[in-house]
Amino acid sequence: MKIMISACLAGENCKYNSGNNRNEKVLQLMVENEVITVCPEQMGGLPTPRVPSEIRDGVVTTKDGRIVDAKFRAGAAKCLEIARREQPDLIVLQSRSPSCGVKQRYDGTFTGTLTDGAGVTAELLMKNGFKCVDVEDLPGNGDLILTLQMGRENRRV
Ligand code: SF4
């Protein structure tokens, strides 16, 4: 099985603050599967560390007011290119990120307030038919059968 994942979930220090979101369920999936890690923000040319960003009125903006939308969307486009080429069985993304969030994201006020909606990369992948799974929805104990069911629509033939 081939899995595409947010790189920070694999322990890569690519978060805005140079940290990661290492996740034990993801690490378990990585043991017996082929894994492709992507960090759309780094792939779009943003540095690490970087000022945190949120989506405000549809435009990705940093906490200090700079518009970084083009870089976020460039990273999303590169992730889509990789997904089309690699055809992952499953895509697992970090929750609430302005890039990787699948179901929710912060609302652009930098007050910790959540709103429904995806980050720019998750949105682009889903619009192109790739089913993305929020890491918080992964079943426990490495239940690969259930995980495969969650991701089976990812396979594009
Ligand atoms: S862009 Fe995605 S992979 Fe990169 S640090 Fe943010 S959540 Fe993780």
Given a cut of 70, the residues of the chain with pLDDT beneath it are 141-157
Write out pLDDT tens, residues 127-156.
999 989 999 999 876 565 566 666 555 444
Flag whether the pTM goes above 0.85: yes
Residue among 17, 18, 37, 41 to mutate when testing ligand 1 (max atoms within 8 A of CB): 41
Distance in Å, CA 147 to ligand 1 centroid: 21
Q: Where are the domains of the chain?
A: 2-154
Three-state secondary structure readout of the chain = CEEEEEHHHHCCCCCCCCCCCCCHHHHHHHHCCEEEEECHHHHCCCCCCCCCEEEECCEEEECCCCECHHHHHHHHHHHHHHHHHHCCCEEEECCECCCCCCCEEECCCCCCCEEECCCHHHHHHHHCCCCEEEHHHCCHHHCHHHHHHHHHHHCCC
Distance from Cα 95 to the centre of ligand 1, integer Å: 9
Ligand 1 binding residues, C-beta < 6 A:
6-8, 14-15, 39-41, 94, 97, 99-100
**Atom in ligand 1 nearest the alpha carbon of residue 100:** 2
Nearest protein CA to atom 4 of ligand 1, as residue: 39
